[in-house]
Amino acid sequence: MSRTETSPHRQTWLRPAATTSAEPAAEPRWGHPDGIQVGLHPLPGPRGLLRIFAPYLGHPRDRLLNFIALEPIPAGATDRGYSELEHSALDDAPGKRFWSADDLSETGPQDPLSPAQGVVELVDGVEPLTVHILSERFETGAEVAVRVRFRSDRPHEVAFATLALPGSAPLEYFVVTATMGNYARLRRLGLADATVTPAELWPGFTGAHFAEHAEFALDRLPRNPAGEVEVSATTDEADPEAAVYDADVAEHWKYSGHRAVQTWIAADPDPRLRALVNARAAYWASTATIPGGPSFENFEFVEPFRQGREFRFRIEPVA
């Protein structure tokens, strides 16, 4: 169970209900009731991923738009940890166990059906809602969390601050990646000097695997008026609901709702910040062809790790 709750400062938030002996379970979901929201397992979908909901796009309540995966890379390592793909050391099931907390004083695993409610404050006239999402330890020795923060004045945006927990292996990078671009069939990536597409980046790409990452250095990334790096991806289809699918495409891959632009934003970029995308020509875990050809799947920033580094993710409707 979730509840829509009005705080003492009058901003209304979607937050998990308090659990009691009479109501021992609550829905792990936070955000703006009519704006962007973040949820956790056991909401539908694989474990080891944050769920991103955007009901203002005309989606049913449980229709998510994207996932966010946590992919830390320890110092001296080259391979990422994959929160969705690694098995849990707690129960040997696929996907790392995530849990929520109001702060980082309790880092041990918590019951996912007794989620934290999040902390509401008033800062310079703006009301943030903050909750921490912690992961069990990765096979690489990385032990991490993200601070998830919503702002009352930004209903279509959520911020993820990357954190190494005490006892973690030192981190070289900590990537938070939007990992389901194929659902919205993202095919247009806006750079400072061009708009690039999968067809241009990987000519003739086919099959049921991932394309290699394409990387774009800081000098190719757009800046907004505040000087922040702001990179956006969107579909090339005027009406993605009208797509014609092959018979073997599962129903959950068929897009519904309005078109949207998905954007990563980074203030104060490190000179080594890069934007990365890869692509698929077939939907994940299948050989079912994506209508219209390959589309971007993972979409992310990669930057040397800084404790508390915040990356913002925004989803805006397109008329």
Beta partners for 6?
12
CB atoms within 10 A of CB 135: 23
255-293 in b/e form (b: 16+ CB < 10 A) is: bebebbbbbbbbeebeeebbbebbbbbbbeeeebbbbbb
Q: How far apart are alpha carbons 15 and 312 in whole angstroms?
A: 20
Quickly state the pLDDT bin for 2 (edges 50, 70, 90).
Answer: low
**pLDDT of 247 above 80:** yes
**pLDDT of 319 above 80:** no
User: So what's the pLDDT on residue 8?
Assistant: 52
Quickly state the pLDDT bin for 36 (edges 50, 70, 90).
Answer: very high
**pLDDT of 11 above 80:** no
Q: How far apart are alpha carbons 41 and 49 in whole angstroms?
A: 8
Q: What is the phi/psi pair of residue 225, to 5°? A: -60, -25
Query: What percent of the chain stands above pLDDT 90?
Result: 91
Whole-model pTM?
A: 0.95
**pLDDT of 258 above 80:** yes
pLDDT tens readout for residues 212-243: 999 999 999 999 999 999 999 999 999 999 99
User: So what's the pLDDT on residue 19?
Assistant: 83
Region of poorest pLDDT, from 9-13, 20-24, 44-48: 9-13
- Count of alpha carbons within 13 Å of 300, Cβ hemisphere only? 23
Q: How far apart are alpha carbons 49 and 97 in whole angstroms?
A: 9
pLDDT tens readout for residues 183-193: 999 999 999 99
Task: Report which DSSP code applies to 218.
Answer: G
> For the chain, how big is the Rg over CA atoms in Å?
19
214-231 in b/e form (b: 16+ CB < 10 A) is: bebebeebeeeeeeebbb
Do residues 281 and 292 make contact, with C-beta atoms less than 8 angstroms apart? no
Q: How far apart are alpha carbons 305 and 270 in whole angstroms?
A: 10
User: So what's the pLDDT on residue 108?
Assistant: 86
**pLDDT of 205 above 80:** yes
Q: What is the mean pLDDT of residues 299-313?
A: 98
Query: What percent of the chain stands above pLDDT 70?
Result: 97
Q: Where are the alpha helices (DSSP H) in the chain?
A: 181-184, 198-201
Do residues 89 and 1 make contact, with C-beta atoms less than 8 angstroms apart? no
Q: What is the mean pLDDT of residues 200-216?
A: 98
Q: How far apart are alpha carbons 133 and 144 in whole angstroms?
A: 9
Instruction: Specify the DSSP element, H or E, that contains 71.
Output: strand 64-74
pLDDT tens readout for residues 116-160: 999 999 999 999 999 999 999 999 999 999 999 999 999 999 999
**pLDDT of 5 above 80:** no
User: So what's the pLDDT on residue 106?
Assistant: 75
HEC per residue, 138-201: CCCCCCEEEEEEEECCEEEEEEEEEEECCCCCCEEEEEEEECCHHHHCEEEEECCCCEECHHHH
Written as six digits, the tokens of 3 are 């509840």
Q: What share of the chain is helix, strand, coil (3-state, %, to 5)?
A: 5, 40, 55
**pLDDT of 255 above 90:** yes
For residue 257, the one-letter residue type is G
pLDDT tens readout for residues 54-100: 999 999 999 999 999 999 999 999 999 999 999 999 999 999 999 99
Q: How far apart are alpha carbons 152 and 168 in whole angstroms?
A: 33
What is the four-CA torsion angle of 181, 187, 190, 196, rounded to 10 degrees? 130
Do residues 81 and 69 make contact, with C-beta atoms less than 8 angstroms apart? no
